[in-house]
Homo-oligomer: A and B are copies of this chain.
């Protein structure tokens, strides 16, 4: 996801003068709501873990999660690549390869 895409998300918001509504609390609510719309594609899918027929909706809802996350990073003045690489370092300590390899346990149970 390069700078152009991040700028196009920012422009989408600015063109509509929406920053006035985009406080951190309501953005966090919005990311959670979009994540639910993504998850809704798997409601009642049972053991079908792929929901192939919903591929287009899954694509669109995942994009909405990313769009609001980019807006929140912008509102909070976070740099995307920076916060991701910082968190990967933290997760790397929580889940060291030698302990976490091939395990799905939470770090508290490793």
Chain A residues close to B by CB (< 8 Å): 1-2, 4-6, 8-9, 12, 15-18, 20-21, 23-26, 28-36, 38-51, 55, 58-60, 62-67, 69-70, 72-73, 76, 78, 80-81, 83-88, 90-92, 95, 97, 100-104
Contacts and interface: CB of A to CB of B under 8 A. Distances in A.
Given A1-B84, A87-B67, A100-B16, A26 B44 contact: yes
Contact of A84 (B45, B63, B85): B63
Contact of A32 (B39, B46, B66, B95): B39
When all copies of this chain in the complex are counted, the total is 4
Main secondary structure of the interface of A (DSSP, over half): helix
Name which of A6, A8, A83 has the most chain B CB atoms within 10 A of its CB: A83
